[in-house]
Amino acid sequence: MNLIIGASSGLGKSLAADFSKLDKTLLVSRRKIKVKSKNIKSIQLDIVTGNITKIFSKIQKKTISNIIFTVGLTDWNNDNIEISPKKARLILDTNFYSILKLVYKLIEKKKLKDDCLICFCSSVTTILPRHRQIMYCAAKSALNSFSKSINFFIKINKLKYRVANIILGYMETDMNKSIQTPLSKINPKIVSKYIFLNRDKLEGQIFFPKYWIFFKILINLIPEKILILIFNLFFFNKKYF
Ligand SMILES: NC(=O)c1ccc[n+]([C@@H]2O[C@H](COP(=O)([O-])OP(=O)(O)OC[C@H]3O[C@@H](n4cnc5c(N)ncnc54)[C@H](OP(=O)(O)O)[C@@H]3O)[C@@H](O)[C@H]2O)c1
């Protein structure tokens, strides 16, 4: 059985279509999802405020071959440094803490098959020096860190699960409709195909598209003063990145 957490839109929706060709897949989302394939089941559940035992009652005695967390929430439109504690908590819970809780529960209840893929969706915003989306960047950075910690935990406990953290560039989804970027936005179907076709070997920290590795290296190498100069010359007052 496969599990997609956050499957009502964007990347999760594309993944649901791909995995429906394979075998039983359970979709989890805040909104109700109408499913056509007999391979697919869905539950409407808010993984931050809802009761996650609902997921376990649907899994029953089955075990999971692939679990993909496409759940995410951003504060794209927030240009202010200030953010309410309630909103900050929600962004942190959605992008990080609810994921951590569910992964621990699945491991504790032995619901993951040997060689199960645990796949997270992080963001290239975690490598950019930014003044927008502070909580989203912080939450995704926590997710990056968690993906390394849980991988280490799995290895030292001689478990056989694989952890992949896809550090995604900008996609054409509802999440970032309003954001401008000088780079092209990726179609989520391309990302979904990549995850689906490579599900048996995916592991580690993966940039998608790969060219973001060069941005990471450049950002680490360029002195701060030059970075600020570049930013002011090309990007200031634009809602880039
Ligand atoms: N779009 C981008 O450019 C981009 C770039 C880098 C990384 N990412 C990351 O990639 C992943 C997929 O992005 P996307 O653009 O496909 O996102 P999306 O279209 O906004 O979809 C997010 C999904 O998460 C679900 N969700 C949010 N909060 C939830 C909650 N509390 N409980 C249950 N489900 C919840 C949403 O369900 P409902 O709609 O029903 O609430 C939706 O199905 C996200 O983790 C995102 O942060 C996206």
Average the pLDDT over 52-58 and give the result: 96
Q: Is 51 in the pocket of ligand 1 (CB under 6 A)?
A: no
Q: Three-state DSSP class for 227?
A: helix
d(CA 221, CA 231): 15
Q: Helix, strand, coil proportions of the chain in percent (round to 5)?
A: 40, 20, 40
C-beta of residue 13 within 8 angstroms of C-beta of residue 68 = no
Q: Residue 85: pLDDT above 60? A: yes
For residue 238 and ligand 1, the question of a CB distance below 6 A is answered with no
Taking the centre of ligand 1 as the mean of its atom positions, its distance from the CA of residue 69, in whole angstroms, is 9
Question: What number does the ligand 1 atom closest to the CA of 98 have?
Answer: 31
Residue 113 has pLDDT above 80, yes or no: yes
CATH T-level assignment (fold) for domain 2-235: Rossmann fold (3.40.50)
Distance 227 CA to ligand 1 centre (A): 30
* Whether residue 164 has pLDDT greater than 90: yes
Answer whether residue 77 shows pLDDT above 70. no
Reduced to 3 states, what is the DSSP secondary structure of residue 9?
coil
Question: pTM, whole model, 2 decimals?
Answer: 0.95
